[in-house]
Amino acid sequence: MCLVLTVVELLRQLMERQALRRMDELSDDQVEALGSALTRLAAAMEELRERHGIAASELNLDLSPLGQCSTDAQCSRRTV
């Protein structure tokens, strides 16, 4: 379950970043709806983590040459 939630969290973060890039192209109503949807999605992820006893820090992907991508929305790059 941890791997599934990790992948879902990664996709959630990618969707959020893409939405932030495109906010200038959206109407006020669309921005409001998008914000609400992203908030509900984040809350659902938190509920799933709690239900399965998984801490946010456990949802990390080791992307080897790229470093670790964690759920705190930061990916650290390793220097090669």
What the block records as the tokens of 1 is 């379950």
What is the pLDDT at residue 36? 94
| 77 domain-assigned | no
Comparing C-alpha atoms, which of 52, 36, 44, 35 is closest to residue 9?
44
Number of domains in the chain: 1
pTM higher than 0.75:
no
- 78 falls within a domain: no
Local confidence pLDDT in tens for the 80 residues of the chain: 788 888 888 888 888 899 889 889 999 999 999 999 999 999 999 999 999 998 888 887 665 555 555 544 333 333 33
Q: What pLDDT does residue 67 have?
A: 54
Question: Residue 33's domain spans which residues?
Answer: 2-69
Say if 74 falls within a structural domain.
no
Backbone angles phi and psi of 39, in degrees to 5: -65, -45
